[in-house]
Amino acid sequence: MPKLIIPSRFSGLEKIREFVGKIARKAGLNDSEVYGVQLAVDEACSNIIEHAYGGEGMGKIKCSCEVDNKTLTIVLQDFGQPFEPEKVPKLEKDVPLEQIKPRGAGIYLMKNMMDEVTFEFSEETGNKLTLVKKITEE
């Protein structure tokens, strides 16, 4: 299972985007799907830096990927503040774009780009975000 560990810095996000993009392409995802996976991972890592660690350079982000014949699974782990998704306000979708509050948009985006999004927390593993993209044959 390929893994990458980076410092929690915005400058490291390009490295994670390239890492997951390469694996997603090898898994057989098309360009649009690869972009969606990269966007979801980028948003998740930005949230880890900003919210879990409270700023840059406060910890590390571990990214691991697994591909089987039907799915690409990406796991992001950090040891920042525990993430409680139920406390994030739901995104208001039926309002003009300029009135949308930024809180909750990242989770909405991840759930729309990926087929499954799950969050877990434990003292041993910290925050663990699992993103799953189904691989469809064209």
Domain holding 47: CATH number?
3.30.565.10
Total domains present in the chain: 1
- Cα 85 to Cα 66, 98, 108: the distances in Å are 24, 24, 11
Residue 100, classified by CB atoms within 10 Å of its CB into exposed (0-12), middle (13-18) or buried (19+), is middle
Backbone angles phi, psi at 76, to 5 degrees: -110, 130
Give the mean model confidence (pLDDT) for residues 44-51: 93
pLDDT score at 99: 56
Range of the domain at 120: 3-134
Question: Taking residues 73-101, what's their average pLDDT?
Answer: 73
